[in-house]
């Protein structure tokens, strides 16, 4: 069946009034005109919904839906159910696109691509940094799995964006035929699991050198807040990753085992960091690393990097792997705390 070339752009919105106009203006102003802009208000309590309706009145390509609050995954799945384009792109309401973002990505799909990754600018406070395109432009499909699982390529941190859903163009037919959707019980790592599901059915992702997606990190981002259910979220994500690797038949790959080890160590360190984010009135020094100790007890067998792929492991993870052989877990937690403090000092 001949394709129309339409791109469905899905924007989940929840109390996003501060950034929403910049986001929607950047989508409406795309040089690529064959757009279906699906805005899903996920039960906002600010002026976001009224703002979205004003945009729909001015541009017939904008379709606004409102639903009860169910989280970002629920909003994206809702948008997917209403999408009618050939391809789909997700844009978070606090991010925005460069004017040729969709045109450049769509050109890759027209020429035979089935998954296109746009390079990005990372914005944090007053800083702007271009993404690591050179590190991903020539990687294989297996290396894509590793990058999405771990967020790293060798000793280089690719950051959260490589695992995020924004700035990537997907084939809606592949999504529908294989019943790919976001897990609604996750709000951490749900993007990565969606991408890993999608990777099973594509040939090889294409990466665009030109930065065209603007990814904003804010002080109240989910990754920067104390979370009472972080351990449960990480378990759901880790088990989901293991299941997908098994379905793809990559369980014996040393690179994938290394990626799992990096993720497991990263979760260990994230639980330590989360303990340090606990409100001071609730913080108990003796309990600071309780969640990390639990994680090490349960997933310690995965926190071993195969020798064949150890060079693919970040230096600090290699150090932790070495120390784990002779240090008790309490001492490993002290190492993690010291590293967390060092990273804070560098910001």
What is the DSSP code string of 82-129? H--SSEEEE--TT-EE-TTHHHHHHHHHHTT-SEEEEEEEEEETTEEE
Does the predicted TM-score (pTM) go above 0.85?
A: yes
Is residue 284 over pLDDT 90?
Answer: no
Q: How many other C-beta atoms are found inside a 10 Å radius of the C-beta of residue 214?
A: 22
Per-residue confidence (pLDDT) for residue 43, from 0 to 100: 95
Report the distance separating Cα 53 and Cα 290, nearest Å.
Answer: 47
Is residue 345 over pLDDT 70?
Answer: no
Long-range contacts from 334-338, C-beta under 8 angstroms, 24+ separation: 336/268, 336/269, 336/272, 336/289, 336/292, 337/272, 337/276, 337/288, 337/289
Mean model confidence pLDDT for the chain: 87
SS3 207: strand
Report the distance separating Cα 8 and Cα 170, nearest Å.
Answer: 10
Is residue 48 over pLDDT 80?
Answer: yes
Is residue 240 over pLDDT 60?
Answer: yes
Per-residue confidence (pLDDT) for residue 2, from 0 to 100: 63
The percentage of the chain sitting over the pLDDT mark of 70, rounded to a whole number, equals 87
């Amino acid at each position: 069946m001949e394709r129309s070339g339409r791109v469905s752009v899905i924007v989940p919105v929840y109390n996003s009034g501060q950034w929403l106009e910049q986001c929607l203006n950047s989508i409406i102003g795309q040089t690529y005109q064959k757009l279906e802009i699906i805005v899903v208000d996920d039960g906002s309590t600010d002026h976001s919904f009224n703002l979205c309706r004003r945009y729909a009145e001015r541009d017939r390509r904008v379709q606004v839906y409102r639903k009860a609050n169910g989280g970002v995954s629920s909003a994206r799945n809702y948008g997917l159910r209403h999408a009618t384009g050939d391809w789909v792109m997700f844009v978070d309401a606090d991010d925005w696109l460069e004017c040729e973002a969709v045109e450049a990505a769509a050109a890759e799909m027209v020429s035979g691509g089935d998954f296109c990754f746009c390079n990005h600018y990372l914005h944090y406070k007053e800083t702007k940094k271009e993404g690591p395109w050179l590190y991903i432009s020539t990687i294989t499909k297996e290396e894509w799995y590793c990058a999405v699982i771990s967020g790293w390529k060798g000793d280089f941190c690719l950051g959260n964006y490589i695992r995020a859903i924004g700035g990537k163009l997907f084939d809606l037919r592949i999504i529908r035929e294989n019943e790919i959707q976001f897990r609604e019980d996750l709000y951490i790592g749900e993007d990565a699991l969606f991408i890993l599901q999608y990777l099973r059915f594509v040939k090889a992702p294409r990466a665009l050198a030109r930065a065209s997606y603007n990814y904003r990190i804010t002080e109240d981002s989910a990754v920067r807040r104390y979370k009472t259910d972080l351990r449960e979220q990480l378990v759901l994500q880790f088990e989901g990753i293991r299941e997908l690797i098994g379905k793809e038949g990559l369980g014996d790959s040393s690179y994938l085992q290394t990626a799992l080890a990096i993720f497991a160590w990263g979760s260990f360190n994230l639980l330590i960091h989360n303990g340090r984010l606990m409100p001071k009135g609730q913080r108990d020094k003796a309990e600071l690393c309780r969640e990390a100790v639990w994680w090490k007890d349960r997933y310690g067998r995965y926190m071993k990097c195969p020798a064949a792929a150890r060079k693919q492991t970040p230096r600090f993870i290699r150090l932790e792997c070495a120390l784990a052989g002779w240090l008790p877990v309490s001492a490993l937690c002290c190492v993690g705390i010291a590293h967390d403090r060092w990273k804070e000092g560098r910001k």
